[in-house]
Amino acid sequence: MSKPINVYSTPDLRQTLDEALPDVFKRLNYEQSFKLIDTKLIIGYSIAVVAAISFLLDKKLKFEEALLYQKVLVGSYAILSAVFWYFNNYIEKGVKYTGYSKEKAIVVATKMTKYDYNYQVTLRNEAGSVIKTTLPANTVFDEQGYLQTDLLFKWFEEKLDSFYKKAK
């Protein structure tokens, strides 16, 4: 059983529901994929390496000797930063879970607006079909603030069943 949360706090609700997604989809026979996270890490580490090389060149070489290298590194830094920004805002936007089973893949993006207890869920499959649905958070939390994982599992199970029937 999870720890109780303040059910009147939107960030707590969102975080608890987002953290429950891997367990729910594991019960639905999905295996989590970390491709988006790995890509984001590679881009972020590349930015850090470029910055470190720039720092080391600045320390080891004179200004005139390092100028050409610094121009290339600053350009690389700008390009990598732009790619990172694009990745965060357009590719990974709101994605909280990516998983696959034998013949299916699923991407789950979630959102919760301030002062609203509705958990907005967007499901996308490998064919590109999208379904947007809303889970009222008060249906999966009890009065003490405990997440009822069985109710959350059943809700996702129903949504996925209707999603894949609709996609056929």
Sequence spans of domains, the chain: 10-30+101-167, 37-91
* End-to-end Cα, the chain, rounded Å: 37
Query: SS3 for 125?
Result: strand
Query: SS3 for 1?
Result: coil
> Residue 103: what pLDDT?
83
Q: Which residues pair with 134 in a beta bridge?
A: 120
The conformational region for residue 70 under phi > 0 = left, psi -120 to 50 = alpha, else beta, is alpha
> Residue 141: what pLDDT?
92
Euclidean distance between CA atoms 4 and 166, whole angstroms: 36
- pLDDT, tens digit, 9 for 90 and up, residues 16-69: 999 999 999 999 999 999 999 999 999 999 999 999 999 999 999 999 999 999
**pLDDT beyond 60 at 1:** no
With tokens 């720039």, the residue in question is 54
Band (167; pLDDT cuts 50, 70, 90): low
pTM as predicted = 0.83
> Residue 2: what pLDDT?
67
Of 10-19, 77-86, 144-153, 158-167, which gets the smallest average pLDDT?
A: 158-167
With tokens 């590109």, the residue in question is 128
Euclidean distance between CA atoms 13 and 127, whole angstroms: 30
- pLDDT, tens digit, 9 for 90 and up, residues 67-110: 999 999 999 999 999 999 999 999 999 999 999 998 889 999 99
